[in-house]
Structure 1
Amino acid sequence: MRFRHPDGTAVHLGYCSNVHQAEDFDGVLAQLADHAEPVRERLGVDRLGIGLWLARDVVARLTAEPGELARLKGELDARGLETVTLNAFPYAGFHRDVVKKDVYLPDWADEARLTHTLDCARVLAALLPDDAERGSVSTLPLAWRTPWSPERADTARRALDRLAAGLATIESDTGRRVRVGFEPEPGCVVETTAQAVRELRGLDPERLGVCLDACHLAVQFEEPGAALRRLGEAGLPVVKLQASCAIEAADPAAPTARTALRRLAEPRFLHQTRTAAFAGTGGEPRTPEGPTAAGFVAPEGRTAAEFVTTEVRGADDLPDALDGGLPTDTGPWRVHFHAPLHAAPEPPLRTTADHLVRVLAGLLGGPSADCDHIEVETYTWSVLPEPPTDLPGGIAAELAWARDRLTDLGLKDDR
């Protein structure tokens, strides 16, 4: 779907195909027929955006066989689908029985990661609609935080310079600009926007920037306004927004909350968990972008505006947190479990949908559009305690929720 921002920018909304299990070319074509086209039909739109996740073997085939790439473009067109973004974070095997930290391999100290990302950019340049201003590719935030030696960091930095040069070559060869966004994620070398500034400042802003995942931002208890200002002041563009929600337990010590959280502690994906401690400012009440938005409940007789986030503590996976790896008496827990945008989880859990709304407002609620690619990325439907029987219907409902939030901000449907 496309929308028009008041400043005239075309804003693309779609969903990410990493929710589907497809590791070969035939599987990718099948998911377009079995899922993406039905989603478009449920929404009643003529054109639907789909952010493709293509496993390494598929990307290699498409770059080696131009006829197959043309076939994929033809299938997209025939089914009323368009692609302006690729998710190149998972390399392969994203729906194995156990993925966990393997999703971060190969990392940016490995030549294979650079090769794959540039190949994805070449594929995307061929798939872009003729009237799309540019494409985007999202990738991992350099690496999982360990092991990460100075030598590996230096290798990665050199790879990013080569990435920018390679993207410039692709633009020269094809006439299509593709930007790459590094996606901060809890537990990685870059897990916050402050770390993104530290590690990525000074890169070519015309081709490299940040893929902002709203779930990850919420899990780290980063407030949208401050995070977006930090990136803007550092000259790091938000190349792409992954519209996603985390799970929050306001009282992680409550038996009902722990029971509900246990049901989310599944074996396939990594579910980093964070808690935040809050402290009184000791001064006059202020209007922070923090505790109120974080779901913080102030003590009786106080207001949330009198408190600020003082510390974020974490566990690398939800089972670790539940088994004593994270305190339950300092504040709410937030879990890296991409929850459907439109639906409430098992009580007393909630999602960070309000946080996502503020991210959207920060990027698109002002006089100018600060991001033009939005991708709903709920890849966890299959590992929900009660997986859906109608996946296209669920994805369509998420996209409808996102559409309504965009129109609330004054964007117009641009069919």
Structure 2
Amino acid sequence: MQTPYGHLSYCSNIHPGEDWKEHFSVLQSSIPQIKVSVCPDASMGIGLRLANQASIDLSEKSNFDAFKKWLDDNNCYVFTMNGFPYGGFHNVVVKDKVHAPDWTTQERTDYTIRMFGLLAKLLPENLSEGGISTSPLSYRFWWKTTDALIDATQKATQNMVSVVESLVELKATTGKTLHLDIEPEPDGILENSTEYLDWYNHYLLPIGIKQLSGKGFSEEEATNAIKTHIQLCYDVCHFAVGFEHPQSVIDKLDAQGLKVGKIQISSALKVDFSNDATEKLKVIAQYNEPTYLHQVVAQKKDGSFVKFPDLTEAISGFDENILSWRVHFHVPLFIENYGMLASTRSDIEDTINVHKQKPFTNHLEIETYTWGVLPTEFQAPLNESIIREINWVKGLL
């Protein structure tokens, strides 16, 4: 829905469906019920997540026409999409496979270009901008040497520049400005703002300018095309896990003329080990579920940080020098405390306040997808939970 600070929705990766028939069926049963509670008299935006197979299915004219008609009939619209999970995301073990196939592959490139073709046609006539969030190149632990990691970064960047070429063409033919929104995540090749900026300046711009110059772009035209079509996805949970502050990140981006494609509004778990450490380890163990990666960044008493690739390693590696944890577990936005644990909800409030003072994106997307793997006492009917999250964010805005 339109708010004074941009379009707001929730990401449909919360719903199952790797093929379009199943996913559309869930949207048809869920969206009208949600809409009547959050924006009965206004258009409702949808943050659409399409798996690869669903994107192929929706590319068929009959499926696309039926979906477009359903959007119109229900006063809904799509303004952003999630292109991070390529394949299975529900009822399977995801873990590091969420990055597969990664940006070193043609499969990831083709899938993303197909998604942009769909988004260009789904955007309403009165909207000229849309974005798709994506993986931060690859999962860094797949690359065992420094040279292998550099090679993967270069190949992934080249493929992203190929997407820029497609987006330049789409803008020329449709008038729509579409951007690929890179989502830094713990243990991705790009984990934080520092790594994102380093990649942008030392890989993306040099590789992109060279690659686009071969297509007839001047250096200025290539730079403008890259900065227009490659933007940051500010996932609040991910930046909170990395102990980054929103104002600092936005200031660094502004200083280099780089844009934020969307804010993914999400919350992480936070654990203070200054007291009752043994009991809190028992409580956090309830969140050590087998579906998703739950990376941990630990702050030590001397102010330094240590990272763990998942909760299992963090629990086994705990020692008395650790002061606090931030855990990559997307917990409900409207809950601040989980028994002896807390959340990074204050980071959401800080991010929204920074945005309200000086808006830095047009797209706001709620992304809590872990309802089915939360401890039982925090689970609730899904549509009720989505409604509660949307209304909580509306209250902040």
Q: CA RMSD in A?
A: 1.7
Helix, strand or coil at the partner of 2:322: coil
Secondary structure at the counterpart of residue 181 of structure 1: strand
- The structure 1 residue matched to 2:54, chosen from 58, 69, 76, is 58
Q: What corresponds to 1:342 in structure 2?
A: 334
Q: Deviations over 1:144-172 (max 9, x none)?
A: 11334232222112112211111111222
How do 1:178-217 and structure 2 match up within 5 A? Answer: 178-201=178-201, 202=205, 204-217=226-239
The structure with higher relative contact order (CA 8 Å, sep 6+) is 1
1:104-115 equivalences in 2 (<5 Å): 104-115=99-110
The alpha carbon displacement at 1:44 in A equals 4.4
Flag the 1:24–1:250 CA change in 2: closer, same or farther, 3 A: same
How many residue pairs end up in the alignment? Answer: 367
What is the DSSP-based 3-state SS (H/G/I as helix, E as strand, rest coil) of the residue aligned with 1:314?
Answer: strand
- The residue aligned with 2:171 is 171
Specify which of 359, 362, 367 is matched with residue 377 of structure 1: 367
For 1:2-401, list aligned pairs within 5 A: 2-5=2-5, 11-46=6-41, 47-63=43-59, 65-148=60-143, 149=148, 150-201=150-201, 202=205, 204-251=226-273, 254-277=277-300, 310-324=303-317, 326-366=318-358, 369-386=359-376, 388-401=379-392
Give the match's secondary structure for 1:191. Answer: coil
1:273-298 Cα shifts (integer Å, max 9, x gaps): 1112365xxxxxxxxxxxxxxxxxxx
* Amino acid corresponding to residue 225 of structure 1 in structure 2: Q
8 Å Cα contact 1:29/1:75 also seen in 2: no
Q: Deviations over 1:105-126 (max 9, x none)?
A: 1111111111111111111111
Counterpart residue number, 1:305:
none
- Give the TM-score normalised by structure 1: 0.85
Residue 242 of structure 1 aligns to a residue whose secondary structure is strand
Q: Which amino acid aligns with 1:177?
A: T
Deviations 1:170-222 (A, max 9, x none): 22222222111100000111000000001123361111111010000000011
**1:267 corresponds to which letter in structure 2?**
P
The answer (yes or no) to whether the contact 2:45–2:77 under 8 Å persists in 1 is: yes
Conserved? CA contact 2:336–2:345, under 8 Å: no
Quote how far apart the aligned CAs of 1:130 are. 1.7
Per-residue deviation, 1:45: 2.8
Q: Distance in 1 between matches of 2:257 and 2:35?
A: 36
1-structure distance, mates of 2:304, 2:159: 33
Q: CA deviation at 1:377?
A: 0.1
- The DSSP-based 3-state class of the residue aligned with 2:169 is helix
User: Unaligned 5+ residue runs, structure 2?
Assistant: 206-222
Quote how far apart the aligned CAs of 1:40 are: 1.1
Letter in 1 for 2:103: W
Percent identity between matched residues is 31
Contact 2:128 2:175 in 1 (8 A): no
CA distance in 1, matches of 2:187, 2:262: 21
- Cα deviation for residue 327 of structure 1 reads 3.9
State which drifts further: 191-200 or 20-29: 20-29
1:346 Cα deviation from its structure 2 partner: 2.5
2: CA distance, partners of 1:313 / 1:389: 34
Q: In the aligned structure 2, how far is the partner of 1:327 from the partner of 1:16?
A: 37
Paired with 1:147 and 1:236, the residues of 2 have a C-alpha distance of 29
Q: Distance in 2 between matches of 1:254 and 1:245?
A: 22
Q: The residue matched to 2:338 in structure 1 has which SS?
A: coil
| 1:41-65 deviations in Å (ceiling 9; x for gaps) | 22243322221111101111223x2
Structure 1 residues 61 and 44: alpha-carbon distance in aligned structure 2, compared to 1, 3 A threshold: closer
Q: Give the TM-score normalised by structure 2.
A: 0.88
Instruction: Show structure 1 runs of 5+ residues with no match.
Output: 6-10, 280-309, 407-415
Q: Amino acid of the residue matched to residue 335 of structure 1?
A: V
CA distance in 1, matches of 2:159, 2:314: 35
